[in-house]
Amino acid sequence: MQPERTTLSWHRTSLGVLGNGALLLLRDLNNYTGPLRLLPAGLAAVIVVATYLVGRQRGHQLARRPLPDQLTARWQVRLIGASVVVLIVVTALALPV
């Protein structure tokens, strides 16, 4: 049961970031003013791929029997968390006031 919950939570996170990137891309679809405007959507795409890959790796790791000695995903969680915070800041700066 734990591998499925872990996989679902990582996929849910990647879908949330994907939605953010899609909305940013749609916002700039008609008002394209240069490649810099697409930076937030591109950053979201990179975070989506990274989150999906980490989630897939974690799911496979937890599905193994016997369980490996090292189960914590500290640096992966910190990396994805920091990336999402950076995406939030970039998104806030990209939105017109």
Selection from 75, 68, 56, 50 nearest residue 6 by Cα: 56
pLDDT at 82: 95
How many domains is the chain partitioned into structurally?
A: 1
Q: What is the dihedral of CA 74, 76, 78, 82, to 10 degrees?
A: 180
Helices and strands in the chain: count of H runs, count of E runs: 3, 0
Average pLDDT, the chain: 84
Q: Span 67-91, mean pLDDT?
A: 85
Range of the domain at 10: 2-94
pLDDT at 97: 56
The SS3 of residue 30 is coil
**C-alpha–C-alpha distance, residues 57 and 52, integer Å:** 9
- pTM (2 d.p.): 0.81
